[in-house]
Chain A
Amino acid sequence: MKRQFMNGYDAVKDIADGSTIMVGGFGLVGIPEQMILGLVESGVKGLTVISNNCGVDEWGLGLLLKNHQINKMIGSYVGENKEFERQVLSGELDVELTPQGTLAERIRAGGAGIPAFYTPAGVGTQVAEGKETRIFDGKEYVLEKGLKADYSLIRALKADEMGNLLYNKTARNFNPMIAAAGKVTLAEVEEIVPTGTIEPDSIHTPGIYVQGILEAIQEKRIERRTVREG
């Protein structure tokens, strides 16, 4: 039985100033919305945030940015957020841009007990500057380090009471790796179901990685609603 929270604030209120947090999601899909709103409410400051994107101006991690709660951001694509660009250019926000696949693998490695690994992504670019490189079978690779976090905040479709998780479609994205890379992992889900009702073969994230769960309703805002005609 994993701890269950009342609301987003209740889930994240113990996160202290200066913490490193990882947040799941790709764009606004699969983000733990209610826990992010909880962070806005708690007013925690000086966060290092590891997440593929940084939300949009009025939603997701963009809310923390607007509130000046983030000191440093590690991500791969932050182009949807004007305030982000403003804070970086003015020197208020420190940013480490990482190729998306490298970011996913750094998080996976962090959660899997692997301190570093070699990847071809970024070789010959500014991403590789100052990093060790090595040639294997005639091809150059750059050494990238694993990432861990004090807290991991993720979103899934379902959790059972043991914290086993099932994701929905492309809302899975970074969430499974982030689940494993946090000292404390908190999962926001659409539904908590009785233990035993998710088929063991269908579980995407085993409950061992999850310390607490929050059942909540998500708005699921859409960044680019594209439909076909007719």
Chain B
Amino acid sequence: MKGIKSNVRERIARRAEEEIKSGYYVNLGIGMPTLVANYISENKVVVLQSENGLLGIGAYPAEDEVDPDLINAGKETVTAIKGASYFNSAESFAMIRGEHIDLAILGGMEVSAQGDLANWMIPGKMIKGMGGAMDLVHGARKITVIMDHVNKNGAPKIVNKCSLPLTGKNVVNRIITDRAVLDVTKKGLVVREIAKGFTLEEVENSTEPDIIVPSSICYDAY
């Protein structure tokens, strides 16, 4: 089972990588979004921002390079690329809030048809905190959420209205799941791509809101 799950995560992460254009400054959320960094094409020049005060996250360090003072926002030890910069947390979020980050890729628990995102809290169950997610969803120029299409019980995670506390309202631009790529538009959710192994009907049935299906939809896309 674990192998299947990691394959799914890799597939989503690889598809999410296609959202990143050369020249972008990108913030990757904690968890599955962090995996996207593993698949960034060598042909792209991309600078990854870490909200704890680093622009230019590098690879994980070799054993003898580990520096306890150098971590990413997930508290993992990292390295810094040539040309990286360090700064304080207020400046980091000025960078985010001031719309200087081209793209943020975040995880999600629920996304609504209007682009509301819930990804920080399950009432009465876990108290973790929102970290930088609430600032990021209003700051980055484009917000892409990557997640499983359905939850552990098989229920849709793309819903008419989020039941969990919101991270932000009307903030998500694109959703990438193991089954499909969908855009949040003023007219509603538009499906752009269907993943290998799934049909349009399966995607429609596992998505709570109605989906707009344009003529130019891409099947077996990833």
> Interface of A with B (CB < 8 Å)?
26-30, 52, 75-80, 84-85, 88-89, 95, 97, 99-105, 107-108, 119-127, 167-177, 204, 220-228, 230
Contact = CB atoms under 8 A, between A and B. Distances in A.
Interface string B51-91: 11110000111110011111101111110100000111110
B130 interface: yes
Nearest to A109: B90
B88 A172 contact: yes
Contact of B53 (A26, A102, A105): A26
A131 B49 CA distance: 30
A125 B128 contact: no
B166 to A, nearest CB: 5
Given A26-B71, A124-B169, A169-B70, A175 B88 contact: yes
A127 B139 CA distance: 17
Interface SS of B by simple majority: loop
Contact of B60 (A77, A122, A227): A227
A228 B131 CA distance: 26
Given A173-B89, A228-B59, A78 B129 contact: yes
Contacts of A88: 127
Interface in B147-183: 165-170
Interface of B: 50-54, 59-63, 66-71, 73-78, 80, 86-90, 92-94, 96-97, 116, 124, 126-135, 137-139, 165-170
Contact of B89 (A77, A120, A126, A174): A174
Nearest to A175: B88
B80 A169 contact: yes
Question: Which of A77, A101, A176: most chain B Cβ within 10 A?
Answer: A101
7 contacts: A29-B68, A101-B51, A101-B92, A120-B138, A169-B69, A169-B86, A170-B71
Given A100-B131, A222-B77, A26 B89 contact: yes
A27 B63 CA distance: 21
A79 B128 contact: yes
A85 B127 contact: yes
Most central of A80, A167, A204, A224 by chain B CB within 10 Å? A224
Nearest to B89: A104
A206 to B, nearest CB: 14
A122 B130 CA distance: 10
A120 B136 CA distance: 10
A117 to B, nearest CB: 11
B80 A225 contact: no
A121 B132 CA distance: 9
B88 A174 contact: yes
Contacts of A175: 88
Contacts of A221: 68
A125 B61 contact: no
A119 B77 CA distance: 31
A188 to B, nearest CB: 14
